[in-house]
Amino acid sequence: MLIQSQDCNDYDQLASDQSLIDVMKHCLNTCIKPAASGVTYVRWGKKECPKGVELVYTGQVGGNSNSNKGGGVNYLCLPNDPENGKSLSRDNDQLFGAEYQTGSYHKPYEMTSNLFNKEVTCSVCYQRKRSTVLMIPGRKTCYKGWTFEYTGYIMSDYKDYSSKEYVCVDKDAEAVDNKTGDENGALFYGVKTKCGSLRCPPYTNAVDVHCVVCTK
């Protein structure tokens, strides 16, 4: 019997099963190209990716208004070069720009104080050398065997407003530009702990929450 495979040499099947197995192994090793690997993640609060990580695009954060009672709850990293759609007549405004609400009461400790009421930037990053990405709340460092991407603080909208997801905002966060408009929309507040059902220790009451993004 003759075994043929594209881009491989032809081989005569020999009598033994082992010979057939050897031929199959050869074709698998030489003819099948491995699939492209890598992972993407959003670096919230930064226009660039960490050193050595490919930038897919940079943009600004968008999300649902803090005053809306329904609709989307996740933040979006919107590119700076959108391909805009057509006019929609019905009233369903849900996509607003996001602003830092990092005044003296809601600012994580290490973050700069000049972000208040400025728009939140973001970048989408592609790490070619990894296959899994993990955001760990409550930590600044990765566990053994994981590679550090960036660290920051857990942020979300204010507890009395519409629900939003928790995201890890870079500790050295920056704004889209120097505009300060207080236009609200989607908002970013520092989040603090509340002991009770949250066990303290190991946690501590009323402190900001670190986070770290790791890949493997």
What does the DSSP assignment read for 64-115? Answer: --TT-SSS--S-EEEESS--------S-----EEEEE--STTT--TTS-GGG
* pLDDT of 34 over the 70 cut: no
HSE of 209, CA atoms in CB hemisphere, 13 A: 22
Helix H or strand E encompassing 26: helix 17-31
How many domains does the chain contain in total? 2
Q: Residue 96: count other Cβ atoms within 10 Å of its Cβ.
A: 19
**Cα 196 to Cα 83, 193, 200, 205, distances in angstroms:** 48, 10, 7, 9
Q: Are residues 115 and 170 in the same domain?
A: yes
Q: Are residues 155 and 174 in the same domain?
A: yes
Kindly report the pTM of this predicted structure: 0.80
Distance separating alpha carbons of residues 174 and 172, to the nearest angstrom? 7
Confidence of residue 58 (pLDDT cuts 50, 70, 90): very high
Burial 38-74 (b: 16+ CB within 10 A, else e): ebebbbbbbbebbeebeeeebbbbbbbbbebeeebee
Q: Are residues 96 and 18 in the same domain?
A: no
Q: Are residues 181 and 95 in the same domain?
A: yes
Q: Do 170 and 48 touch, CB atoms closer than 8 A?
A: no
Whole-number average pLDDT of the chain: 86
Q: Are residues 125 and 207 in the same domain?
A: yes
Q: Are residues 199 and 103 in the same domain?
A: yes
Q: Are residues 23 and 45 in the same domain?
A: no
Q: Are residues 25 and 46 in the same domain?
A: no
Q: Do 61 and 150 touch, CB atoms closer than 8 A?
A: no
Q: Which backbone phi and psi does 102 adopt, to 5 degrees?
A: -100, 55
Q: Which backbone phi and psi does 176 adopt, to 5 degrees?
A: -60, -45
Residue-wise pLDDT for 67-107, tens only, equals 888 888 999 999 999 998 888 878 888 899 999 999 888 88
Residue with the two structure tokens 């930064």: 46
* pLDDT of 15 over the 60 cut: no
**What domain range includes position 17?**
2-31
